[in-house]
Amino acid sequence: MSAEQEKRAIRCLVAKVGLDGHDRGAHVIARAFRDAGFEVVYSGLHRAPGEIVQAAVQEDVDVLGISILSGAHNTLVPKVIEGLKEYGAFEDTLIVVGGIIPDDDKAELKELGVAEVFGPGTPMEETIEFIREHVPERA
């Protein structure tokens, strides 16, 4: 049954959390991920951390990409991570953050469990490559 073992597409949630209304970046990312062969679930704008958690858990994504441009990452990201832990989904979800994040905060986010932070101007290939390399092994 070799066909059944075909490698599965990487499932990814591209999430806009909080109040900023800039989703051009998220759209571009979503499309680039799609073109890279990922299966992308897009959250839409202005999502609360709880909604992101709900979507990530129910869609059983391998990767959660959070886009934040509002500067509220220090309050929003921990809430998302907490929620994922509550549902036992933190361990095997790769969390990446995109947006304008000061270096100090970057370290803090990584400490919390964010795998990588991608700032403005990061080449798309770099992000995609990072995800391919770090996507959690799942049975």
Partner 1 sequence: MGEDDAHGDEVHAKIADLVDGILAGEQRALARAITHIENRSPGHRTLISRLHEHAGSAAVIGVTGAPGAGKSTLVDKLAATYRERGDTVGVVAVDPSSPYTGGAVLGDRIRMGSNVGDMEVFFRSMSARGRLGGLSTATADTVTALDAFGKDVVIIETVGAGQNEVDIVRTAHTVAVLVQPGSGDDVQTLKAGILEIGDVFVVNKADTDGVERTVAELEEMVHRRQGATVGLDVGHHGSGALGMNAHGTDGADVREEVADDPTGEAPSWTPKVLRTVGTTGEGVAELIETFDAHTGYLRDSGALAERTHRRYAEEIRTLVRADLGALATDEIERRGGIDELAERVRKRETDPYTVANEIVDPIARCIERDNG
Contact residues toward partner 1 (CB under 8 A) are 1-4, 6, 8-9, 11, 30-31, 33-44, 48, 50-51, 54-55, 57-60, 87-89, 139
Q: Which is nearer to partner 1, 22 or 107 (CB)?
A: 22
Task: Report the candidate in 67, 81, 51, 60 with the shortest Cα–Cα distance to residue 14.
Answer: 67
Residue 33 Cβ, how far from partner 1 at the closest point, in Å? 7
H helix or E strand, kind and range, residue 33: helix 24-35
Residue 105 Cβ, how far from partner 1 at the closest point, in Å? 26
Q: Is the distance from CB of 85 to CB of 56 less than 8 angstroms?
A: no
Residue 119 Cβ, how far from partner 1 at the closest point, in Å? 24
C-alpha 61/C-alpha 42 separation (Å) is: 11
Task: Report the candidate in 40, 37, 47 with the shortest Cα–Cα distance to residue 14.
Answer: 40
Q: Which is nearer to partner 1, 1 or 104 (CB)?
A: 1
Q: Which is nearer to partner 1, 50 or 102 (CB)?
A: 50
